[in-house]
């Protein structure tokens, strides 16, 4: 790859690896991440790179994601082994570094934690987490218009609302919950109580 900030090159590379629907989502996340970066005085360039690459492992097979983890020593939890689609964030972070030349730890972490979040996320991590949820192509999400407005007023409050929505959805649908999502939600609930 050229350099990791060559957006046109990154978009072209990702377009080859994603189906049309996923690529449209990716472009929506890039756009939304850039807008949020402007709002919260974060690097627009880094937000765009992370937005383009956040789902770079999404269209891989579960077997390939597991194989990459096993081959490169990426830790896989029991829940991830049972639900390997959850690994797309970790594998995506690995590919961002090894295949697409990302050297910035903040971009790497924004990709790695864009599905579960984590305690004390950086502004860029929160931007990608939120942008993935609110990008313009998203449709059937409860309370989405309110969360979109909230994202530009209070980023932490938007993170917390998304985490609570995700946990409620997984509980209602009987899906397995990644413990990291609960840890993250508890952290941001407690942070909101203290402020």
pLDDT tens track of the chain, all 195 residues?
344 458 999 999 999 999 999 999 999 999 999 999 999 999 999 999 999 999 999 999 999 999 999 999 999 999 999 999 999 999 999 999 999 999 999 999 999 999 999 999 999 999 999 999 999 999 888 899 999 999 999 999 999 999 999 999 999 999 899 999 999 999 999 999 998
| Residue 138 near residue 113 (C-beta atoms within 8 A) | no
Q: Which CATH superfamily is domain 7-142 in?
A: Hypothetical protein af1432 (1.10.3210.10)
pTM here is: 0.95
CA distance 17 to 13: 7
CA distance 162 to 131: 11
CA distance 79 to 135: 27
Domain ranges of the chain: 7-142
């Amino acid at each position: 790859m050229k350099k990791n900030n060559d957006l046109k090159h990154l978009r072209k590379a990702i377009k080859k690896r994603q189906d049309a629907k996923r690529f449209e989502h990716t472009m929506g996340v890039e756009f939304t991440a850039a807008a949020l970066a402007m709002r919260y005085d974060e690097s627009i360039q880094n937000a765009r790179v992370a937005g383009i690459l956040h789902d770079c492992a999404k269209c891989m097979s579960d077997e390939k994601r597991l194989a990459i983890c096993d081959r490169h020593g990426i830790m896989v939890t029991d829940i991830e082994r049972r639900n390997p689609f959850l690994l797309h964030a970790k594998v995506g972070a690995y590919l961002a570094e090894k295949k697409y030349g990302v050297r910035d730890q903040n971009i790497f972490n924004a990709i790695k934690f864009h599905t579960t979040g984590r305690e004390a996320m950086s502004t860029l991590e929160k931007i990608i987490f939120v942008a993935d949820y609110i990008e313009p192509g998203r449709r059937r999400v409860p309370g989405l218009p309110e969360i979109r407005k909230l994202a530009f007023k209070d980023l932490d409050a938007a993170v917390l609302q998304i985490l609570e929505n995700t946990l409620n959805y997984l509980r209602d649908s009987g899906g397995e919950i990644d413990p990291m999502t609960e840890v993250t939600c508890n952290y941001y609930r407690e942070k909101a109580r203290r402020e």
